[in-house]
Amino acid sequence: MKQGRERNGFFTRALLSWHAADNDRSLPWKSEKDPYKIWLSEIILQQTRAEQGKPYYLKFIDAFPAVADMAAADDEYVYRLWQGLGYYNRCKNMLATARYISNELDGRFPATYEGLLALKGIGPYTAAAIASFAYGAPCAVVDGNVYRVLSRYWGIEEPFDSSQGKMLFREKADELLDSRNSAAYNQAIMDLGATVCKPRQPACDKCPLQKKCIAYLHGLTTILPVRSKKTAVKKRYFHYLVLRTSDAIWLHKRDGGDIWQNLHEPYLIEADGVLTEKQLEQHALYKVLNIGPGGLQYSGRTSQRLTHQYIETNFYVVMIPGPVNIPVANGKWVLIGDMGKVAFPKTLVSFLEKKLYF
């Protein structure tokens, strides 16, 4: 018991000492006290690396200095700014929360962990981060960096993605937290995981915890932390028919529970595998267009790996004399000159830019 307390004490003291003297990680939201800006940074950083998220954070702060500005913004404009970040449900929830806070809470974020957790798009980690950084609440954050630091220091072999593992890591994080200085402690452990105790090739020689780290002392840094689940990657095959006239392109706004919600795309035929042009022309979704054979002009291929999906996409341009009715809900003809105002998935941005549509 005494040894455990000593290891706890060393961990917290060494971590905070490193943070004060040697942590030089510079990010625009560090030391921020405004709950709106902290919330925005945390939503952007969900499933996104800090360096990738940084320009988006700066762009959003410039466009929406306060939560009321975001709440009043046009959906399409917000999605356009988010374009390229992926996981677009985050953007949908972000907009809903901004409007709820602005309209129902007088523009004030809840000051408690429980109140923050009740907001759409905010889970335990994000609620703890906002509560700690904005209000100094004694809430320990637990993310991938924290799992890694705790697992290696303590030699924890319990999978961090199991129910028991999540509980174990949560308890350990709460136990180690400096409740009088939670913001500094939370920032320190996350930064240590991001810059020193990295997933691959950790910089153990620069780590303030090295002399008591079980993973380092026993050669376990490549093994810890342990993940129990490996989600199978689903393969999907998209065939986009870019239906266009001399000055307009038909676009469809995606909805439902699938990927890329609220973003736009050309006419889509999805199949279990890659279809030849002849197979496309025989497809029911092609026949309803009444284009006839020979109308497809192959225009390239691309692929994109999402977290649990691999999407292979083939593009075809279909020239038609003028706008016609396409029997698909949420579809419309958009002038090519207005394409830059529309939000698209990353895969489509690459294709459209290459074709100089915007």
Q: Which residues are catalytic?
A: 42
Query: Residue 104, CB half-sphere, CA atoms under 13 Å: how many?
Result: 9
- List the alpha helices (DSSP H) in 2-143: 2-21, 35-45, 50-63, 67-71, 75-82, 89-104, 113-117, 124-135
| Local structure of 159: helix, strand or coil | coil
Other C-beta atoms within 10 Å of 165: how many? 20
Contact 260, 346 (CB under 8 A): no
Contact 269, 358 (CB under 8 A): no
Written as six digits, the tokens of 325 are 């009715």
Rounded distance between C-alpha atoms, residue 330 and residue 187, angstroms: 44
Residue type, position 161, single letter: D
User: Could you say which DSSP state residue 219 is in?
Assistant: T
Our CA angle for 46, 49, 54, nearest 5°, is 95
Helix%, strand%, coil% for the chain, nearest 5:
45, 15, 40
